[in-house]
Amino acid sequence: MKAAVFHGPHQPLTIENVDIDKPIGREVLVRTVASGVCHSDLHFVDGFYPFPTPAILGHEAAGIVEEVGLQVSEFKPGDHVIACLSVFCGHCDYCLTGRTHLCQTRPVRAKTDPPKLSWKGQPVNQFANLSAYAEQMLVHENALVKIDDSMPLDRAALIGCGVTTGVGAVLNTARIEAGSTVAVFGAGGVGLAAVQGARIAGARMIIAVDTVESKLAKAKELGATHGVNAKADDPVKQIRAMTNGGVDYSFECIGLKVAAEQCFDCIRPGGTATVVGMIPVGQKIELDGPAALHRAVPAGPAHARRDDHAPGQARGRQRGVPGHEGGRGLAHRPDARVASWSPPVWIDASC
């Protein structure tokens, strides 16, 4: 099959003929129909995060099942599926307590098995257990969600990462209340989904922050009530002025230290900042100590669970993660919520 091979940071991907193995056990071979370009893929190309090479990137995909391993029961050839990078084992402590996105023993092939992907006779690393920049993906069945055949696959692919991340950050991680005020930093794939999540949750004011006017216009089309151009003036100053002191909830959907700090600075006392963007490895986020007494510490990305299928369809709430609320020295402040970092969120189970 043809695939875009990643050779290392700052190098172009090249289209190569890569061999893909047959599915064994609970694996499924999927014909990739659509794959988004999430900025997380680009962070690896830019060298902000390490990954062994050669590899095939891509993790926001949808396709059609071509072949299944002998132990696969939930899928059959012809099924339309969304691929999810948070493949889970189903029996570790996290999985058994409903937090499959935190699974610590994600199913991978045994070292004694042949490699899933190989190029010129050498193994190729599978990114995010998916490697979606390829004509086919060989994945564990717990990395797939079956969808209706009528759903266009190019749009379904976006649910594999950006949509679920942004909507999930608002509905599951921050759990905003109807009537709240919200600021979303970055109006790209994830940020626009966060804007829509805030709209679904009934936020009364949704401020999109970006440096590109066309992105702000798109955010308004999708539910933002206001746009702030971070290039025009300090976005924190602008947001504070618009909200009479700051927003209840803010979301960093860019992956920048400065934006993460602004995300924290623009919330009002009792507010919660959620950092979704992938801040480069080694970079520290600086917060003002006294301000942290009155505001929540920036949180990790959204938490998904089996019953969070798609925007507007979230059923019920994520159970509180131990230490999620009230910990880290803020326990005396019932109005402050502290969340812990967690790995990226994506739909993490089959329907």
Smallest distance from ligand NAD to CB 334, Å: 27
Size of the site for ligand NAD (CB under 6 A): 31
Least Cβ distance, residue 194 to ligand NAD (angstroms): 9
Is 38 a residue of the active site?
A: yes
Asked if 227 interacts with ligand NAD (CB under 6 A), we say no
Nearest to 70 by CA among 16, 18, 27: 27
Residue type, 261: E
The reply on whether position 305 binds ligand NAD by CB under 6 A is no
In the bound state, the residue with its beta carbon closest to ligand NAD is 188
By CB under 6 A, is residue 194 in contact with ligand NAD? no
Q: Binding of ligand NAD at residue 277 (CB under 6 A)? A: yes
Task: Determine the Cα–Cα distance for residues 49 and 277; give it in Å rounded to an integer.
Answer: 13
> Residue 337 binds which entry of Zn ion, ligand NAD, none, with Cβ cut-offs from 5 to 8 Å by kind?
none
Is 185 a residue that touches ligand NAD (CB under 6 A)? yes
Residue among 130, 230, 285, 347 that touches ligand NAD (CB under 6 A): 230
The bridge status of strand 144-147 relative to strand 181-185 is unpaired
DSSP sequence for 321-337 = PTTSSS-TT-TT-TT--
Burial class (CB in 10 A: 0-12, 13-18, 19+), 299: buried
- Per-residue 3-state assignment (H helix, E strand, C coil) for 4-29: EEECCCCCCCEEEECEECCCCCCEEE
209 binds ligand NAD (CB under 6 A): yes
Indicate whether 217 belongs to the interface with Zn ion (CB under 5 A).
no
Residue matched to tokens 């899933």 = 116
Is residue 186 at the binding interface for ligand NAD, with CB under 6 A as the rule?
yes
Given the residues 95, 103, 161, 266, the one annotated as active site: 161
Using CA atoms, how far apart are residues 251 and 236, in angstroms rounded to an integer?
13
Residue 299's alpha-carbon distances to 193, 248, 252, in angstroms, are: 17, 14, 10
Applying CB under 6 A, among 18, 68, 156, 254 the residue interacting with ligand NAD is: 254
Helices (H) and strands (E) in the chain, counts: 9, 17
Binding region for ligand NAD (CB under 6 A) out of 11-19, 173-181, 250-258, 312-320: 250-258
Q: What angle do CA 323, 325, 330 make, to 5 degrees?
A: 95
Nearest to 24 by CA among 118, 110, 147: 110
223 binds ligand NAD (CB under 6 A): no
Between 15 and 54, how does the x/- string for binding to Zn ion read (CB under 5 A)? -----------------------x-x--------------
Chain contacts with ligand NAD (rule: CB under 6 A): 38-40, 43, 161-162, 165, 185-191, 209-212, 215, 230, 253-256, 259, 276-278, 301, 344-345
**Catalytic residue positions?**
38, 40, 43, 59, 161
Chain contacts with Zn ion (rule: CB under 5 A): 38, 40, 88-89, 92, 95, 103, 161
